[in-house]
Amino acid sequence: MAATSKSTRSTANAKPVMDDLSDRAAALRKELAELGEALAGAGALQAGVAREAAETRVSELLESGEHLVSEMSRQLGRTEKQVSQAVREKPLQALGVAVAAGFLAAILMRR
C-alpha cells in the first residue's frame, strides 16, 4: 500500500507542475504571436517607406523625362525651320543631297 500512496503523491505533485508548464507554454505562445505581429508591422512599415521612396523617384524621373521631351521638341522645331530655310535658299543642292541619301539607302537595303 505504501507504493500506491507514493504513486498517488507523485501524480498529485505532477499536476501543479504540468499546469505551470501549460501556463508558461500558453504565455510563450502569446508572446511569440505578439512578436510575429510586431515583425509584420515593422515589415509593412519598411514596405511603406520603400514604396514612398520609389514613388518619389518615379515622379522625379517623369518630370525629368517631360523636360527632356519638351527640350527635344523645341530643338526639332528649330532644326526643321533651318532645314526648310536651307531648301528654299538652295533647292538644287537639297535635291542632290536627297538623291544621294536615297541611293545610299538603296545600296544598304540590298545587303
pLDDT at 10: 52
Measure the CA–CA gap between 103 and 48, rounded to whole angstroms: 59
pLDDT at 11: 56
pLDDT at 13: 61
Q: How far is CA 109 from CA 16, 47, 103, 104, in A?
A: 93, 52, 10, 9
Q: What is the DSSP letter of 88?
A: H
Q: Which of 76, 26, 9, 77 is nearest to 34 (CA)?
A: 26
Measure the CA–CA gap between 25 and 33, rounded to whole angstroms: 12
Measure the CA–CA gap between 20 and 10, rounded to whole angstroms: 16
Q: How many Cβ atoms sit within 10 Å of the Cβ of residue 97? A: 13
pLDDT at 33: 83
Q: What is the mean pLDDT of each run of 10 residues along the chain (111 residues)?
A: 50 70 85 80 78 87 90 92 93 93 94 76
Instruction: Report pTM.
Output: 0.45
pLDDT at 100: 95
Q: Are 94 and 87 in contact (CB under 8 A)?
A: yes
